[in-house]
C-alpha cells in the first residue's frame, strides 16, 4: 500500500530534516521504493540537499524541491518578496505526482505545521488534501508536552488519530527528558511516541541497529 508521510514539527530547526533523511535511508535499506521531498525551501536549499544525499543523489534537486526562495522567511512571505505565488493546487499536484513515483512518499514541511506556505494554506491543508500520515518532531526538552499536544490538536482529524511523535534527544538532556516520553505515551499511547537518540553527525552514513529499530517503530503503520 502506498503511504504519504508528512514530517512536521513543533518549530523550525527541531530536527525534521535529520529525521526525514534517516527515515529515507532506512526505507531504502529495506528496499522500499521511497521518495523524500521538501516542496518549499526559503533562505537556502540545505534541507533539500540533505534529502538528496539521503537518496544517494539519484533524484534531481528540482524534483525534491520545486520551490525555493531567497528570503529566510516563512514560504508565503518569502514568495511574496520574490513576486511569486504558489497555489495550494500546485503544491498538491506536485505531491500527487511524486506519490505516483514511489511506494512511500516522505514530505518534509517548512517551519511548523501552521507556518504559511502560500495564500490560504499551510502544511495542515496539504496533509488533509492527500489524506497523509503525520510525524510530529519535537526536541525532548522542557515544554515538549505542551508543544506536541498543540501540534497534534491542530492536525486534520484523520491524521490526528494515528500521528506519531518523534522526540529528538538533545546534546544535553534536561530533567524533563525521561518523563516527557512517559507522559506523552500516556496521552497518545506508547506505540505512537518514540525517542530518537542524539546524533553528532546529522546524516550518519550507517544506521546502528539501535537507531534502526527506533526508525522502524516510527514507520510502523498505526
Residue numbers annotated as active site:
38
Are the C-beta atoms of residues 179 and 144 closer than 8 Å to each other?
Answer: no
Smallest separation, CB 47 to Mg ion (Å): 4
Output 1 or 171, the one with its CB closest to Mg ion: 171
Nearer to Mg ion, 43 or 129 (CB): 43
Nearest residue to Mg ion, scored by beta-carbon proximity: 17
Min dist. Cβ of residue 36 to Mg ion (A): 12
- Chain residues in the site for Mg ion (CB under 5 A): 16-17, 47
Q: Which is nearer to Mg ion, 79 or 188 (CB)?
A: 79
Question: Which residue shows C-alpha cell 539501535?
Answer: 210
Q: How far is the CB of 103 from Mg ion (least distance, A)?
A: 23
Which is closer to Mg ion, CB of 175 or CB of 200? 200
Amino acid at each position: 500500500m502506498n503511504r504519504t508521510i508528512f514530517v512536521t514539527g513543533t518549530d523550525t530547526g527541531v530536527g525534521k530534516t535529520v529525521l526525514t533523511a534517516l527515515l529515507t535511508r532506512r526505507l531504502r535499506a529495506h528496499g522500499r521504493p521511497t521518495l523524500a521531498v521538501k516542496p518549499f525551501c526559503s533562505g537556502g536549499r540545505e534541507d533539500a540537499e540533505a534529502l538528496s544525499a539521503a537518496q544517494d543523489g539519484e533524484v534531481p534537486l528540482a524534483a525534491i524541491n520545486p520551490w525555493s526562495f531567497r528570503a529566510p522567511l516563512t514560504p508565503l512571505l518569502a514568495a511574496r518578496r520574490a513576486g511569486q505565488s504558489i497555489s495550494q493546487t500546485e503544491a498538491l499536484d506536485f505531491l500527487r505526482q511524486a506519490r505516483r513515483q514511489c511506494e512511500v512518499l516522505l514530505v518534509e514541511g517548512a517551519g511548523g505545521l501552521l507556518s504559511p506556505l502560500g495564500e490560504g494554506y499551510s502544511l495542515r491543508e496539504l496533509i488533509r488534501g492527500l489524506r497523509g500520515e503525520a510525524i510530529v518532531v519535537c526536541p525532548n526538552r522542557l515544554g515538549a508536552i505542551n508543544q506536541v499536544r498543540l501540534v497534534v490538536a491542530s492536525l486534520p482529524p484523520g491524521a490526528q488519530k494515528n500521528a506519531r511523535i518523534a522526540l529528538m534527544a538533545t546534546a544535553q538532556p534536561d530533567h524533563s527528558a525521561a518523563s516527557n516520553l512517559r507522559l506523552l505515551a500516556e496521552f497518545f499511547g506508547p506505540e505512537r511516541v518514540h525517542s530518537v537518540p542524539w546524533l553528532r553527525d546529522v546524516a550518519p552514513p550507517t544506521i546502528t541497529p539501535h537507531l534502526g529499530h527506533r526508525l522502524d517503530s516510527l514507520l510502523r503503520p498505526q
